[in-house]
Structure formats: structure tokens, C-alpha cells
Amino acid sequence: MPSHHQREQLGLFLGFVGMAIFGGTLPATRLAVSAIDPIALTAIRAAIAGICSLLLLITLRRRPPPRTLWPQIAIAMACVVILFPLFMALGMRTVDASHGGVVLGVLPIATALVAVAITHERPRPLFWIASLAGAALVIAFALRQGGGALSIGDTYLFAAVAVAAIGYAYSGRLTSGMPGWEVISWILVVALPISIPAALLTMPADILQLPAKPMLGLVYVTLFSQWIGFFAWNAGLAMGGIARVSQVQLLQPFITFALAAVFNGENITWQTVAFAAAVVATVAISTRTRGRVASA
């Protein structure tokens, strides 16, 4: 049986693997939407991942969650399975993956803000300062890149951040009662009555003849971003501790930059890296200062 230290180290490793998988989501999505409509991409990835989840749950004979949890599962499903992938895919049609990496870098702050709201926490003032600074940096970056105005791609990405924050916050609450892999699996299964018909209606007739890169992007976001990545990430949080393992998420924008340069041929400027580093700093500060302040 592994020692406590070994368990923590394994948790950090699994957390890093999950973070790296999520870091590839934007570059893979940008590859996929070069040949697949965003609505079709969203439906296909949800349907295939949902079928895989259903087969896994049946094989392991997992019982459905209690009825009291279904409203939370439905909220998480709408956000994580439908709206977030759709907004992200729409955004990736007009902006680079590296650009999206900076905008989505503020997602941990947004998730923390939603968690604070639904748990009625009262964080320290520095949490709010860091959160506002992170949001301001991302908006400034988007305006700078857009020549003083927000592009339609940025609008979609900001919407993606908002719905993902809600979905992740509710998913996090659900992990207190069941393993993380089971949470995402049930969320995907609940979406099947929507995702399967939508996939059948929107799937390109020549999907098997798609070029290699868009097909690679589709496979990646379907099996890894939508499903397997959550297995590694949630297992890492459980084994290594949420506070410690979640810190590796600070590296995610830079993983996205590296993959975007290799697979999308994007030129990563020093300004993009500088903005990302500044956003990461605000995320780190907000994470460390979220502790609850006792009510008077």
C-alpha cells in the first residue's frame, strides 16, 4: 500500500496529466472546426463520449445517483457538455488557440467566484482584488488583440468561461458524493437524449473522408478533452489534495501555447506570454486567498 507521500506524488502526476490533456483542447478544437461545423462538433463529441460513459457505467454496474442530485447534474450537463464546447468551438473559428489560452486562463478565477456564490463564502478582500485584476487583464488583452474592440471570437470565449465556471463549480460539488470519473460519466449519459439526435442530424456526410488534422482534433476533444481528461484530473485532486494539485492548472495556458505552436503553426508572441503570466499570477493569488472569513 503506497505511503501518504507516494499517494500525494501520484496525485500530482495525475493532476498534471489531466491538466496537459485539457491544455490541448483549444488547439485540437481549432483543428476540428477547420472542417466541422461547431454545432456538429459539439454534438458528436458529446454523443461518442456519452456512449463510452454509458458502457463503462453498465460494465462496472454503477447505480444511478440519488434523485436529489439530478438538478445539479442537469446544470453541469448543460454547461460542460453543451454550452462550453459550443462557445469554445465558435470562438476557435475566428481567433488563435494561443489567444484563447490567455482568455480561458482566467477560468479558475471564474469557477472560484461561482463556488463562492453557491457556498456563501466570504473570501478575503485580496481574493476580490486578484479576481478583478485577472478579469481586467484578460479584457485588456482581448481589446489589444482586437484593435480596441472585442471580436466575436472573444465574445464567444467569454461566454465559454462563464458557462464552464458554473459547470465546473457544480461538478465539483457532485464529487463530494461520488468519484470524479463517475460524475462526468453520468453528466455525459444524461446528455445522450440530446447529443445522439443532434449528432445524427448535423454529422457531415463525408466525415470518414475528413483530412487527418481535423479528424485528429475531433478524436482528441471527444475522447480526451470531454472524458478521459476528467478521470486523471479528478483522481489527482482526490489523491493529492485539491489545494495542492489544482496549482498545476497554472501551467495550462503555457501547455496550450506549446501545442498551438506545434500543431496549429501559431506564432506565440512575447506579449501573449506576458499577459498569460500576469493572468496566472492573479489566479495564484486568488486561489491562495480564497479562505473563508468568519461571519460577524
Choose between 9 and 95: higher pLDDT: 95
The answer as to whether 195 is a domain residue is yes
Residue 290: the pLDDT is 66
CB 182 within 8 A of CB 228: no
The answer as to whether 295 is a domain residue is no
Domain region containing 58:
4-288
User: Does pLDDT of 296 surpass 70?
Assistant: no
What is the number of structural domains in the chain?
Answer: 1
> CB under 8 Å to 166, separation ≥6 — which residues?
75, 79, 114
9-18, 26-35, 46-55, 111-120, range with the lowest pLDDT:
111-120
Mean pLDDT of the chain: 89
- The sign of the dihedral angle between the CA atoms of 44, 48, 49, 54 is positive
- Residue found under cell 493529492: 240
Amino acid letter for position 95: V
Residue 82: the pLDDT is 96
The answer as to whether 294 is a domain residue is no
Q: How far is residue 162's CA from residue 164's CA, in Å, rounded to a whole number?
A: 6
The answer as to whether 38 is a domain residue is yes
**Among 42, 23, 50, 152, CA closest to 86:** 42
What is the pLDDT confidence band of residue 110, given thresholds at 50, 70 and 90? confident
The answer as to whether 296 is a domain residue is no
16-25, 208-217, 240-249, range with the lowest pLDDT:
240-249
The answer as to whether 153 is a domain residue is yes
The answer as to whether 293 is a domain residue is no
φ, ψ of residue 292 to 5 degrees: the values are -70, 140
Amino acid letter for position 53: S
